[in-house]
Amino acid sequence: MSLEQGSLPLLAAGPPYDQDEVDQLLTPPKRRKVKAMKELFSGLKPGTAIQAVIKDAVFGVYAIAGVARLSEIAGGFCLGSTILTLGVRPEKYVVSVSVLSLTGLPALELNSHNFVGYARHGHLVHATFQSRHTDEELRFVGFAVGARDSGMLGVGQWIIRQRGLYAPALTGITLLAGTLQTSLICPPLLRSWAELDDPVVTTQDS
């Protein structure tokens, strides 16, 4: 089975992860399987736990998992503030999607904030956040990306740390690989957090 069919529900189990699995998850295909994703979203029910892989100009390729809900603004599905579809058509930055379970995510026992003070730009991390607006848990696997001007550090557009203090929404973080310890391509250090306005990187469709 392919990743899109849920054979590797990496973010459901939580760390520790096999590095080959992480590399496979965060290596996008040459062409997106748009038809398969549309079929998945057309049958998806709000409240289902899913895992999506995103390709972003600032944060690179990262995976996000959580409970899918409908966005009144976009008229499609979203995970937290990340809009995944317009109707059932996946956004250009959505690389792949898989269903993790029928409802919810299993609880994790993470290292709380023990690692947050040591997290650096280029570290590959697993981070969990609690959304203030929807009270939902979101899980990320991706590179920690820093900004020179503010000392901010984030993963997948969510803030891990700012000026030495961890973000209130952060509930746990685990190091998966240090700088230069993975074959994955790390995004460059940001000049400013304002670069989040950059357009996302897209992948060819199939």
For residue range 51-71, list pLDDT tens digits in order: 999 999 889 999 999 999 998
Average pLDDT over residues 58-86: 90
Indicate whether 203 pLDDT > 50: no
Q: What is the pLDDT of residues 28-41, one digit of tens each?
A: 888 999 999 999 99
Pairwise pLDDT comparison (196 vs 152), residue with the higher score? 152
Tokens of 127: 């981070």
Tokens of 21: 């699995």
d(CA 86, CA 42): 11
Average pLDDT over residues 152-157: 89
Query: Which residue in 37, 49, 18 sits closest to 126, CA to CA?
Result: 18
User: To which H or E segment does residue 199 belong?
Assistant: none
Indicate whether 104 pLDDT > 60: no
Residues 6+ apart with CB under 8 A from 18: none
Residues 6+ apart with CB under 8 A from 112: 171, 172
Q: What is this structure's pTM? A: 0.82
d(CA 49, CA 8): 14
Indicate whether 134 pLDDT > 90: no
Average pLDDT over residues 156-160: 88
In this structure, are residues 76 and 85 in contact, taking their beta carbons and an 8 Å threshold?
yes
Indicate whether 186 pLDDT > 50: yes
Residue 23: what pLDDT? 86
Average pLDDT over residues 150-163: 85
Indicate whether 196 pLDDT > 70: no
DSSP 8-state class, residue 5: G
Pairwise pLDDT comparison (30 vs 108), residue with the higher score? 30
Pairwise pLDDT comparison (172 vs 12), residue with the higher score? 172
Strand partners, 172: 128
Residues 6+ apart with CB under 8 A from 197: none
